[in-house]
Amino acid sequence: MELYAKRLFDLGSENAFKMGAHITAVELQGKNVIKLNLGEPDFNIPDCMKAEIKHQIDLNNTHYCNPKGLLTLREAISRQIYATRGLTVSPDRIVVFPGAKPSIGFSQAVYCNPNDEIIYPSPGFPIYESFIHYVGAIPKPIHLKESAGFSLLPEQLANAITPKTKLIFLNFPSNPTGGVATPEQLQALSQVILNKCNEHTRVYSDEIYEHITFDGTRHHSIASLPGMEERTIISSGFSKTFAWTGGRVGYAILPSIDEANMFTNLNINYFSCVPPYNQEAARVGLEYEDAQAKVKEMVGIFQRRRDLMLKALGEIPGLTTQKPSGAFYLFPNIENASEKLGVLQAFEQLPEAMKTKTSPSTLFQMFALYYHGVAIMDRRSFCKLGSETEHYIRISCAAEDSVLIEGAKRLKNAFEDNTGFRQFIRGKGPWY
Ligand code: PMP
């Protein structure tokens, strides 16, 4: 008898959480690490939200509550969805979760039988892919091309859809590319979905970065388009907008009350409910102008940092970086720079068994951290199936200007350090 159930080995993970252990290992050697790996804003929640959490605790609002989410919060979300997407959503269709993440795996559990197909963008948020084998479904990544500005093209979607397609993940603004879809792009994607999909196919629209857009670009939801509300799950939350990753409040809007009740039952089975004092603070975030002003200020800073970092990365020979319209990441192509450093060749010479566990951008990621004290994420961390020949890294702009500049300097040094890289490879890792 084995200790672990077989299905456990089909579950992937989110490497961003695993980087912490590597960073600690480097820090324990007495080195300082510039952390550009983080997927969380380096700001604090607005004061009015902090005050509300404390107030609610003083009121002893610390007990079990509605597993679907407090009605006060769901009503506030419903008003916000009307204001931002023009949709009238009954609070009965809204379910609150501990963060935006749980509804990703829950959607796969709710809608997918074994051998159903799940389409998702790659590069994309890793949890779309990591659950698929766990629920016995079949992954169908759509590889976004840099030459198309990392947009998901309607023809790519049309080619990926089959009669077995059950779930389609979309993510705008996107992690890790920062891509924001225009209304025309969403219109074209919706036409493909309406023409080719069964009425029971669901679109999971991950809109968690909805408020972090730049240069006057605005977020649009595919759910606002004709025929799409009844097949789209809108997912969003409070982790990014309000710099509140530790609050664990997110939500999804389901196409029907019945579907919302299915998700609520999963909540009951896993979490019972989300802390009510945090839910009241989330409501305050949606309702108070002070909170909105804080968000605007943060977005302005992210835009300025994006420009600063684009300029700094532009000074690294062989790197090309597209200008993102949203989120707070940069996603440079490191192919030429990696070639010059000998990363691609070193990868080719690894034993076959090792090659399946790492990638050229992972080798660079580990080299940059252990030898040059700068933490970034590799391409493989953003949905790995079929990503072997893609050479990118994700750099987070969730750090102060001086830290960003120092990070870019360390990356430049790393790309120029051929001797150090040979040593790293000879020293046998860590490589993943
Ligand atoms: N979706 C995307 C695209 C994300 O980037 C993240 C967080 N990195 C999540 C969902 C999960 O957010 P939360 O912390 O609210 O669970």
pLDDT greater than 90 at residue 429: no
pLDDT band, residue 415 (cuts 50/70/90): very high
* 171 neighbors 124 (Cβ within 8 angstroms): yes
Per-residue pLDDT averaged across 126-152, rounded? 97
CA distance 430 to 424: 9
Q: Write down the pLDDT at residue 41.
A: 97
Mutate to test the pocket of ligand 1, among 240, 244, 382 (most ligand atoms within 8 A of CB): 240
Per-residue pLDDT averaged across 390-411, rounded? 98
Whether the CB of 150 sits within 6 Å of ligand 1: no
Taking each helix axis as running N to C, give the angle between helix 71-85 and helix 276-287, from 0 to 180 degrees, rounded to the nearest 10.
30
CA distance 96 to 269: 14
In the reported structure, the alpha carbon of residue 418 is separated from the centroid of ligand 1 by a whole-number distance in angstroms of 36
Per-residue pLDDT averaged across 111-132, rounded? 98
Q: Which tens digit of pLDDT belongs to each residue from 190-226?
A: 999 999 999 999 999 999 999 999 999 999 999 999 9
% of the chain at pLDDT higher than 90: 97
* Every domain of the chain and the residues it spans: 6-31+292-427, 63-290
Show Cβ contacts of residue 13 under 8 Å, excluding neighbours closer than 6 positions. Answer: 126, 130
Whether the CB of 305 sits within 6 Å of ligand 1: no
Per-residue pLDDT averaged across 260-280, rounded? 98
CB atoms within 10 A of CB 5: 8
% of the chain at pLDDT higher than 70: 100
Q: What backbone torsions phi and psi does residue 405 show, to the nearest 5 degrees?
A: -65, -45
What is the radius of gyration, based on Cα positions, of the chain?
22
Per-residue pLDDT averaged across 83-95, rounded? 98
Nearest CA to ligand 1 atom 5: 175
Whether the CB of 41 sits within 6 Å of ligand 1: no
Q: Write down the pLDDT at residue 412.
A: 98
- What is the overall mean pLDDT for the chain? 97
Whether the CB of 122 sits within 6 Å of ligand 1: no
pTM of the model: 0.97
pLDDT greater than 90 at residue 428: no
Whether the CB of 250 sits within 6 Å of ligand 1: yes
pLDDT greater than 80 at residue 31: yes
Which of ligand 1's atoms lies nearest the C-alpha of 16? 8
Q: Which tens digit of pLDDT belongs to each residue from 150-160?
A: 999 999 999 99
pLDDT greater than 90 at residue 187: yes
CATH of domain 63-290: 3.40.640.10
Which of ligand 1's atoms lies nearest the C-alpha of 238? 15
End-to-end CA distance of the chain: 30
CATH of domain 6-31+292-427: 3.90.1150.10
pLDDT greater than 90 at residue 430: no
Show Cβ contacts of residue 152 under 8 Å, excluding neighbours closer than 6 positions. Answer: 121, 142, 144, 170, 181, 185, 189
Question: Is the link from the previous residue into 141 a cis peptide, with omega within 30 of 0?
Answer: no
